[in-house]
Every structure is written in C-alpha cells, then in structure tokens.
Amino acid sequence: MHIVIDLQGAQCESRFRGIGRYSLLLAKAIARNRGDNRITIALNSVFPESIDTLKAEFEGILGLDCIKVWRGLGFVHGRDPTNAWRRQASEKIYEAFLAELQPDIVLVSSLFEGFADDSVSRVPSAHRAWATAVILYDLIPLIYKDAYLTSSVVSSWYARKLENLRRADLLLAISASSGIEAEEHLRYPADRIANISGAADPKFQKITVDQKEAERLKTTYKIARPFVLCAPGGFDHHKNVDGLIRAWANLPDRIRNTRQLVIASRIHKATERRLDKVRKKAGLGSKDIVFTGYVPDPDLIRLYNLTELCVFPSRHEGFGLPALEAMSCGAPTIGSNASAVPEVIGREDAMFDPEDPAAFARLVAELLEAPDRRAELSRFALERAELFSWDRSARIAVEALERIQSERSERVEPAVSRPHRLAVVAPTSDLRLGAAHRLLPLLPELAWRYEIDVVAASGSADASHLPDGVSGCLTREAFRREAGRYDRILYCLGGAGDADIADLALEIPGTVILTEAELAARLDRSLEPGVRLRLLRACHGFADFADPAADPARAATSGPLVHDVVARSLGILAGSAAVARASADAGVPDAADWPIVPFAHAPAERPLPTRRDARTRLGLDDTTPSLVVLCDPASEAATLAAVKAVAAAAPEGTRLLVLAPAPGADRTRLANALAARGLGAPDIMLFDPGHGPALAVVSAAADAAVAFGAAVEAHASGLALDLADAGLTVVSAAAAPSTGAAVEAALAQSGTAFTVSGPDGEPDAAASADLLTASLERIYSRSDVGLRQATGAIAALERTPDDRDDWGRAAEALSLTFPATRAPRQLLVDVSELSQRDARSGVQRVVRNILRNWLQNPPAGYQVQPVYATTHHGYRYATRFTLDFLGHPVGEVEDDEIDFAPGDILFMLDLQHHVAQMQRAFYQTARHHGVKVYFLVHDLLPILLDGIFPPQMRTLHEDWLSVVAESDGAFCVSRAVAHELSDWIRDTGRLKPHPFRIGWFHHGSDFTGSKSWTGLPADAEAVLATLESRPTFLMVGTLEPRKGHAQTLDAFEALWAEGVDVNLAIVGKEGWLVDDLAKRLRGHKERGKRLFWLEGVSDEYLERAYAASVCLIAASRGEGFGLPLIEAAQYKLPIMARDIPVFREVAGEHAFFFSASDGTELAAEVQKWLALYRDGRHPTSDAMPRLTWEETSARLASAIVEEDFLIELRQPRPEPVA
Amino acid sequence: MTTVMRLLPPRLGARIAEFRQLDRRRRKYLTTKYVLKLEPVLPGKFAKKMKRRLAKYSPFPQPATKPEYPGRTARIRLIEADLKRAAGRIPG
C-alpha cells in the first residue's frame, strides 16, 4: 500500500503548536512502522523555511526520494474572501499532485488549516482513485460555536472544512473523546474512526537540573519564587487560562504569597494585556503571575522538572499533549475532568472541574502542602506516561489505514469508462492528403478504442472525405476552443502543412507522430535567425559554438530545430526507425528512445491525372523524357549540385522536374541560382513537394525519379514512397555508383538494387494500430498527467481570478509542482557580473577561463548554460553574452528566462553580491524543487582582515556569505579558504538543518587559455628593456592595503639607500584606500628609473613583465589563492612569499618565505634572497605543482557533478536535554 | 601639457594630470560624481542619466530593487498561456 502523508500540519502556523508536533512525530512513527507499505511525505514549498528542517527529521527513516515537494499559489488563506480563486486553484494543484503520486491512501495531517495561513488541504469529492484519512484533533469550534464561529467568514470556512471531513474514508482520532465528538456532532460512522491516541516526544523526560541552570532559568523567565507551571499551548477560549487566573486568586494567601503561577506559552501582546486585566480584576499582584512567552523545548523540559506542580485547566482538549509532556518529565500533574484530559491524567484525585475555581484552589492547596502526595503523583505520572508511545499510535494508525484500504478495494467497482476522444491533427480534413494518409488504414482499428475527430490545421472542415472510423472534423479555430474536450491529441508531422501543424502543436501540447526524416531541416529553414539561435541554445547548449574547430557558419545554420515541437509535446512517435535515427543524429534529445510505430506503407488514395493531361499541363509532349529530381533538403548547395549532376548525366532534351523541399522565398532564390548556371526553364522546373495537386501532376507526368541524400531511406521518405506509389521508378543516387548510373537506371526503369520501394509484405494495420494505441496510452499515462489535470481543472473553475497576476502565480505553482521530465540536465553557470561588465579583475579572469573550458568540454550528461540575473530581473540564459564571448555574431537573438528541473545544477561562478542577495528566495525555491545550488568562494578577506577594505564591503560580503551558507555548498579556491569558510559558518551560527558541503580546487596557471586582452603601450619596450637591465622584483595585483605594496616600497627605498641596484615593478591598477600609496608612487623620484607602476596592463604585457623579472614578491597579508604565484611558476620565476597558510598551500617548498613586520625587515629578507640568488641556492618554482585552466575546469566540473567535497557542515540534531 | 592646462592654477592642473592617469572607469565615475554635485541646477532628465551612469561605474555594486517575478521561467510563461487558453481567456 502506498501511503502519502500530507504534512502541511507540521509546516504551517501550527508547527509552533501541539498539532505541528503531533503531525511530525506521528508521521515519523508511521514511517518507522510502515512494514511493507510505501510512504511518501508531501510538503508544500509555500512554507520554504520548514522544508529543510523536515527533510532532516526524516533522515535515516526515509530516503530523500520519498519526500515530494509541491507548490500552492500563496495568498490563499481563508480569512480573506478575495483569496477564493487562488485557494481553489491551489486545491486543484494539490489534488493533481496527489494523483500523480498514485497513492492508495492519503493521510491529511491537519485538515483544519488554511484560515490564517497558506496551507491547502482537501478531501476529494468523488471518483477518487485513493482513500483519504484525516487526523481528527477535535471539533472544539463546532462545539463552542458561540466562542469560535461568530464571524460569517470563519463559520463558512469551517463549514467547508467539515464537509471535507465528512467525505474522509477514515478518521484517526487522537483520543477516544475526539472520536466520540465526530460520532455525536457529525454522525460519522464509528467503524471508520480509530483512536490512535498520542505520545510525548521522547526528549521530554525526567532529568536533574543543577543549581546554576535553575538560576539561569529563573533569571531568564523572571521567576522569583517556587512556582506552579501551566504550559497551555495557546490562549484560546477552551484553554481556560482566564479561569486558571481567577482560580489562583482563590488560593489561601500563605500559598499564593510563597508561589508564582508561571504560564509558559507563546503569547501575543494583546492577549497578555487582556489577561493582565483579568489578573487585576481577580485581585492578584503583578508578581503572582509570570507570562514567559515562548519557551524553547530544552528550557520547557527543565521547567517541568523544576516545578512543584503542573496544572492543565482546559475546558476541552482533543488530547492534552502538554499534560503528557509534563508527566513524562515526572512533574506532578493535575488537570480538568473534561473531554480528553482524563484519558491522559488517568486518576480521579488529580482532576478538577474547570468551571469551579474553588475546587481547583482546594486541590492545588492540598497538593502544595503535601510533598508526599506530590511525590506519589510524580511516580504515577512517569508510569502513566510510559503507556503512551508514538510507535504504538503509529501501529494502530497503519492497521486502520490497511483495513480501510482493503475494504475500499473490495467495495470499489471498476469504473465504466467511456472511449477516449482522439483528435488527429492533419493539414486538411481530407486525410488522403499529406502525412496523415499513412494513418488511413489504421483508423478503422483505432475507432474501436477512440472516438476520433480530424482537425484541419490549414484548411476548412469538409466532412465529405472523412474515412471510416472518424466521427467528425473541425477547423483549427474550433479546435483551439474545444481542445480541452479531447483526451488524446495526435499531430501528424511529415508533409504539407507542417508549419501550421507545428504551430498548433506548440500551442496545444499533444503527441506528435513524425513520419519524415528531413522534417528537422525543413523546419530549420523556416525559422528567423534569432529564433534559430535560441532554439539551438535550448537544444544543444553552446557545444557547437564552443568548438574552435567547428565551422561557425554551420553551427549557426544547422541543427535539430524540430526540438521546440519535441520539447513541448507530451511524447513523440516515430514513423520509422530511420526517423528516430535521423533525429537522434541531429541531436534531438531522447530521439533514440522514441517508440517506433511502423506505419504499414499505405499508398496515397488521391486520384492522379492521366499522363497525357499531366504532360499537357506541364507543356511536355508524349515523347520528351522527363525525370523527377527529389532533392536533399539539407542545403541549397546540395540541391544545386544534384540538379547540375543530373542535368549533365541525362540525355539531351530531358526535362527535369525538381522537387525542392524549401519555403517559397528560398525556392525563388534557388530558381535564380539555377538559371544563373544555365539550368533554367523550360528544361528545369521547380515544384513544391508539399503541394499535393502539384505533386500529383509531377508524379503522373514523369518517367522516373532520382532521389538524393538521406531522404531516400525507404521508410523515412514519404515523398520517395509517394512517387513510387504513383508508379515511378525511384532510384537512390546515394545507393547507385554515380549520378550518371542512377539517371541511366531511372530512365531505363531498372537498377532494382538501388531503387526505392516500400517495405516488404502486406501492411498489418491491426498490429500498427495496437502499437499506436499502446504507445499513445503509455505517453498519456506518464507524461505531465498532473500538469494536464491541474491545468484543465483550474481553467474549469467557475470563478475567474480577481488579480490578473494570478494566472502567472498559478503557472508558477504548476511549473514547480510538475517539473519538466524530458529536459536535458543543465549546468546553469552564473555569469551575472561578467555578462554585464568585464572589470578584468582576478575573479573575472577565473570566470572567463572556467566558462570557456566548460563550454568547450561540458561535463558528461550536462549542458552548460551560462545564466545571469540583474538587479531588475530574474535569471535568464546569457545567450547574447555567450555568443559574443565565443566570438560569434550575436544578431537579434534574445535572452530567454531560464527553466530548471530536478537534477539541474546552478553554479554561482561569478561574484555579484547584490544579485545573489536578491535571488535568495529563488535559490531556495530551486533547491526545494530538486536543483543543487553551489557557490564559488574566492576568499573571506573583507571579513577576516579588519581595516583594509571599505567598511561597507565587510557587511556586503557577510550578507553574501549568508546566502552562500543557505545553499547546498561551496567550492573554494584553496583548502585554506575552505577551512576559513567552514569556521566562519560555524562561528557565526549559520549552520542549517540540511548539509552544507565545501570543496576546493586550485586555479590554472596558463595564459594561453585566458589570453583575452592583448596589446602593448608605446613605451612598453623601453620599460621592459630597463626591467631586464638589472634584477627586477615584480609585484602583481590590484593596489590594496592588504597586498603589502607600501611595506615593499619601504623595503626597496631602504635597499636603494644602501646602494643595492635592483628594480621594483608593480603591476596592478589602483584599488581602494590606497590614495597615499598611489600619491607616493606617482611622485617617487625613482619612478621610471628603478620603480615602475604598470597600471591596467594587458595580459600580454603582464606575460612580458614576468619574463623580464628575476623574482615575484607576494607580500599580501591575506589571499584566497594567490594566482600570481602560480603564474610566476609558469614562467619559472622564483618567488618570495609572505608566510601565510594559503601561500604555503600553493607554493609548498618552492618559494622563499618571509615574515617581515616592516620595511626594514623585508629589506633584510630581500638581501638574504639576493645572496641565495647570487649563489644559485634560492628556491626555484620550476617544479611547483600547477594546473592548466583546462585541468582546473575539468576537476571542478567533476567535483561538482560527482559531489566530491572536503567538509560537510550541518546543524547538530538536538541532543536529549541532560 | 595642453594650452588649457597651462591656463589652470598649478594645483588644479596637477590634479587634472593625475586624473588622466586613472583608469577609464574610475574617470567616468569621478566626472559623473562631480557633475552630480550640480544636481539642483541640472535638467531633471540629464541628472537622471548621470545617476544611472554613476551607478554603472560605481566601484561598489548597487543596492538592489526587488524584481517582480524573480523565479519566472520560459516554462511558466507557456503554462500560463495554456491556462488562459483553456479558460477561454485567449480567443481561439
């Protein structure tokens, strides 16, 4: 049995109350005690903050694939009547989502939710495929109507919920008392109610609270005296807190003056003010009663263990969980004798009448003055609490669910279903024309299974040609209106009218049958260039564009542009294996897996004109030889070549009737191109093969045909077969030894070895019809069932939305609940900063290098799709940027909004603080719906190094890292940064319930992959010559306080003063907080002599500077990685590096490390290095391990895809309080 | 040194010379910042343009404004169209 537990009760507002706790603990216990049953937990992502926590709760009990997330619309709460449409639409999505899970039984954890929050639950009305069980907590609002159902909005909302409750197949009552309420007040059958009782969380237990902890609690909650505790779990009317306060006033002074009444529950200000008035009116002082507000569980457990007595004064309870929790902690507990409370308290002498303050006061006074009785009550409480356990409740629940399910399966009779309505979309209602004619023999067989209508995509609805088995026909417009009435839609693509059919197929999704291998190319030609590029991106990613060896012209013009139709359809059937193969070769996703429905070759039934008539219409006499040339649609050049070859091989005077599958404008251009080569009319005539009457005339007039290209594969080409049907010998030029031989064989009407013909044997229409039906039904049973059901149901709602944005909200909820299932997996790579501007910083150099390599070598199984968001809009595919980045003309292509599906990865390669913060909710939504979100972290320097970044950078970086910490993980540019990030997340308390994983990688060092900026300034050669004239120490990096430029300059001033003849070259632009340093550099007397500041230099210039230097000084006090070190190693340039962990990690033993605190010390270190250098004993960087960008990119991609991480962080599971 | 710079007071001339050595982005940022000091007397449209330019060349990322539909995707658009059509909101 498949049990789906709708756990919104533990997600919505009730998650802070007993209902939330009850729902979660019972669901976990059911999962533990599921036996052979399958459990799925359904969560609503309208409550995003609860999802990771709940997933963590089920870890070790259920696999992550057993937790399914759907999405309601939001803004659906019942308090506001204007939410009605959104609520109803959400209910439809909820039902369709459940239907897609195919449950046997759905357990609704809390039906009476959604008045003040956005939860949605419903018990389906009729013809449901599953049973529904509801946990019944109580019917308090129904019983105390005067207190709860005073407003018409509340009462009508509650009445609707009661209707739902009555429809449930089973009520799991949390106590005998609540079950009896359902019998008495709803007349609900007793045999469909199970008392499953409840239990306290095992963490509620007897513990020892030490003196220090007790003092802390008293201070925290302002408790001044020994106390009596009440944790009502709310302040509703039935909780009777007012009555408790009044009863407290009845206690004798000697008790009241030595104790306090502590009321521990989340309380609103207004409620506190109201209860304060009750207190004053009862004559109690402000110290007599303490309202603690919300008390976290660990503290509540300690308070239960410290209290002298616990009271539970409710007038009415479904179960009385707080009383049981107190008893589990060994607190002597007394409670009212009403409703379910006695089932928990379990003894008469610990109960009182909640409406009798005097009785309450008597009992409390007796107990507070009798420690022995309290001790005995405490022992009893612990024994009594042992009787309640979640596992016991869960076992009762599972048994009841199994019983109801088995009764139901015996009771439910198989529904008598009407035949499905099938719309066959063809070019015209005359199915004898176009690709649909291949369906003709199948229709009588299909008519047993379907009620069939024909839709004329291009023409008018003419019922006179309807074949057997077809009930009616309708026009395109009528179909658009009536599409919702059809259970199945079949688009026949592969001949005339394809563009119109494709249009409809894009508009109204259905199943598509492809009967022509050349369809992709044909559709391709009809596309605008911008649209073609967008589709190419959607279909292939940028693989074609990123391959440097690929011909850009080819990349921009070829491709499987049938993709759009394929992507939008519910499923594809291939008319032959060749169609599937050709489409797979063209890169259409999953084409190799398309079901093949081998349509028995059915000759077209259209009447052909006589040969004489046809020839007369074409201006041919009886004796002129004429040959049909069926062209490969792949390219105009191929057509020209084919026609030229046939013209050369054919005897003089032969008329060539060329069937060129091309749009009108292209055909005119083709005619002009032929004429320009001396191949014009009257010897050569062009025809549109999609035009039925013209094809009939050509077929009747010609003597034979020669077909070119892949089009002639026997099963693939309807055209070749149509010509063969018409009695022509059709010779395949590809199969013949030469075009000349093909022409000769055709005119001689021989050459059977390479003659096109239909498949052998008689067509088996019944078998094909069976196959078609089975494939169609399989497609409709699995693909987008939920989406179609929900869309139809929402569209059929009587009301229309008040807010026009609601359509978008509904679409968003549908899209998230029913993700695309046939999309290729994407590696979405964020380039938000680089796509807007290239600041030519180190970060952007990393982005450029990795992106370029990923585009050229995408990780197996993924399409690399660069994406970006700005401060004004959400994520889009960066198509324009990427084409430009790869050096292709951009043209008029537009950037589409992104799509994502479970299994995709969003990798934040670029660094754009504000965009990341603004998209925070988007990352969360994507994560909850199956997308992994990872960030690249370069460093934590603005946080770790005080005073050397502008102050706002620290806040900005902290905010950004907070977003990072909410994701699935991060990849850092070094192990050192990985550990720093891990420490920061731990130290700042940003651990989350879900795992956060940290990996690392090192940058590449080669320039070749990254060279994107070349050119030298006019004085470059002179500068480089000076650098080479004496030992030059090079510093590379933007001028920032942390980089140690000022200290290094101090050192070199000291060296120059001592007469050491060396150069200092600084490469890097001016950063922030370095005004003094910049001024000093610009006005330095050695500038241009022995001091050089090369600002904003190209990669080429930097490369030359590395080559002209003898040593790199890396004086930075903090780095994420230290790219210059690895670049220096690339040029075998020795390195002097400050002794910091990341430089040790990168350079190891291949650098000279120093720890100078001022310029003088650094000058001494430089002297030391020079001495070593002169003796040839300085550490060299030649053997320093380094990677190319290609290797770095491949390793990073593999780590992302294969989830290779160094550190895993997560919030610790709450420990039992001790 | 250009003629104009010769005519300027020496300190300002030095400033301009220094300014010309800054990178292009920084120059654009600073000129815009100086221009915007005259905002009270600038035509509204021009001032608006300058503010956009300031934001564009600012070394600090700009504070964000919330987009309407941060998670809107191409598929959502298609489903929305399906919904409207099925509900008869898009004429056939």
Contact A705, A726 (CB under 8 A): no
CA distance A537 to A898: 12
CA distances from B32 to A1078, B3, B4 (A): 22, 24, 21
Flag whether pLDDT at A509 surpasses 90.
no
Q: Which residues 452-481 in chain A show a CB within 8 A of chain B?
A: 477-481
State the best of A899, A915, A1039 to mutate against chain B, taking most chain B CBs within 10 Å: A899
Higher pLDDT pick, A394 / A579: A394
Task: Give dist(CA A880, CA A516) in Å, integer.
Answer: 33
Q: Residues A1092-1112: what's their mean pLDDT?
A: 89
Per-residue pLDDT tens digits for A847-894? 999 999 999 889 988 989 999 998 778 899 998 899 888 888 777 778
Place of tokens 């693509």: A493
> In this predicted structure, what is the pLDDT of residue A573?
85
Residue B60 in contact with partner chain A when CB distance is under 8 A: yes
Query: How does strand A1152-1154 pair with strand A1135-1138?
Result: parallel
Q: Does A841 touch chain B (CB under 8 A)?
A: no
Q: Which residues of B touch A457 (CB under 8 A)?
A: none
pLDDT at residue A751 is higher than 80? no
Q: Give the span between the Cα atoms of A603 and A725, in whole angstroms.
A: 6
Do A212-385 and A826-1000 fold alike per CATH? yes
Using the beta-carbon criterion (under 8 Å), do A1072 and B59 form an inter-chain contact?
yes
Indicate the domain borders of chain B.
Answer: 3-63
Q: Can you say whether the dihedral through the CA atoms of A650, A736, A659, A640 is positive or negative?
A: negative
3-state secondary structure at position A146: helix
Q: How confident is the model at residue A586 (pLDDT cuts 50, 70, 90)?
A: low
pLDDT surpasses 50 at A164? yes
What integer is the mean pLDDT of A265-283?
A: 91
Would you call B79 and A1096 a contact, using CB atoms and an 8 Å cutoff?
Answer: no
- Residue of A792, A874, A1082 with shortest CB distance to B71: A874
* ipTM associated with this complex: 0.71
Reported CATH class of domain A2-195: alpha beta
A815, A912, A952: residue with CB nearest B79: A815
- What per-residue confidence (pLDDT) applies to A814? 93
Region A305-321 average pLDDT: 92
Of all residues in chain A, what percent carry a pLDDT higher than 70? 86
Contact A306, A295 (CB under 8 A): no
Distance CA A812, CA A900 (A): 12
Query: B36-53: per-residue pLDDT in tens?
Result: 989 889 998 999 999 888
Say what the pLDDT of residue A714 is: 35
List, in sequence order, every residue forming a beta bridge with A136; answer none if it has no partner: A173
Q: Which of A12-26, A371-385, A514-528, A804-818 has the highest mean pLDDT?
A: A371-385
For the cut 80, the answer to whether the pLDDT of residue A1023 exceeds it is yes
pLDDT for A585 equals 67
A545-584 per-position pLDDT tens digit:
666 555 444 443 444 445 667 777 888 888 767 677 767 7
One-letter identity of residue A222: K
Q: For residue A1130, what pLDDT band results from cuts at 50, 70 and 90?
A: confident
- Across A55-72, average pLDDT: 92
- CATH 2.40.128 at A826-1000, yes or no: no
- Under 8 Å CB pairs connecting chains A and B tally to 124
Phi-psi region of A465 (alpha: psi -120 to 50; beta: other; left: phi over 0): alpha
Give the pairing of strands A932-937 and A969-972: parallel
Between A1031 and A549, residue with greater pLDDT: A1031
Contact call for B71 and A925, based on CB within 8 A: yes
Residue ranges of A 1001-1040 with Cβ closer than 8 A to chain B: none
Between A550 and A901, where is the model more confident? A901
- Whether the pLDDT of residue A55 is over 60: the answer is yes
Pick the CATH number of A212-385 from 3.30.450.70, 3.40.50.2000, 3.50.50.60, 3.40.50.1980: 3.40.50.2000
Give the tens place of pLDDT for each residue, A105-152: 999 999 999 888 889 988 987 557 789 999 999 999 999 888 888 888
Q: Which residue has the higher pLDDT, A481 or A349?
A: A349
Backbone φ and ψ for A1035, nearest 5 degrees, come out as: -120, 130
Task: Report chain A residues whose CB lies below 8 A from the CB of B70.
Answer: 869, 874-875, 918-919, 921-922
- Best of B18, B76, B89 to mutate (most A CBs within 10 Å, chain A): B76
Residues 6+ apart with CB under 8 A from A372: none
Class of CATH domain A1020-1186: alpha beta
Q: Which CATH class is domain A611-756?
A: alpha beta
CB-based contact (8 Å) between B43 and chain A? no
Burial track A298-333 (b if 16+ CB lie within 10 A, e otherwise): ebbbbbbbbbbbbbbbbbbbbbbbbbbbbbbbbbbb
C-alpha distances (whole Å) from A527 to each of A181, A416, A521 are 67, 47, 10
Specify the long-range contacts of residues A876-879, CB closer than 8 Å, at least 24 apart: A877/A537, A878/A831, A878/A835, A879/A533, A879/A534, A879/A537
B10 touches chain A (CB under 8 A): no
Cα Rg, chain B, nearest whole Å = 24
Q: Is the pLDDT of residue A587 over 70?
A: no
Question: With an 8 Å Cβ cutoff, is B23 touching chain A?
Answer: yes
- Lowest-confidence pick of A6-15, A868-877, A1195-1204, B7-16: B7-16
User: What's the helix, strand, coil split of chain A in %, to 5?
Assistant: 45, 15, 40
Chain B residues in contact with A839 by the CB 8 A cut-off are: 25
Please give the span between the terminal C-alpha atoms of chain A, in angstroms, as a whole number: 40
Nearest CB neighbour to B86, from listed A477, A792, A869: A792
pLDDT digits (tens, 9 = 90+) for A674-702: 888 777 777 788 887 666 677 778 888 88
User: Which class is A420-593 in CATH?
Assistant: alpha beta
- Split at pLDDT 50, 70, 90, the class of A759 is very low
Predicted pLDDT at A671: 79
What integer is the mean pLDDT of A941-962? 86
Domain ranges of chain A: 2-195, 212-385, 420-593, 611-756, 826-1000, 1020-1186
- Predicted local distance difference test score (pLDDT) of residue A550: 54
> Using CA atoms, how far apart are residues A1209 and A64, in angstroms rounded to an integer?
18
The answer to which of A773-777, A783-787, A911-915, A979-983 has the lowest mean pLDDT is A783-787
Question: Out of A328-337, A452-461, A1042-1051, which region has the weakest mean confidence (pLDDT)?
Answer: A452-461
Contact B23 A872 (CB under 8 A): no
B69 touching chain A per CB within 8 A: yes
- Is residue A582 a contact partner of residue A558, using CB atoms and an 8 Å limit? no
Instruction: Say whether A811 and B85 touch across the interface (CB within 8 A).
Output: no
| Structure tokens, A679 | 């191949």
Residues in chain A: 1218
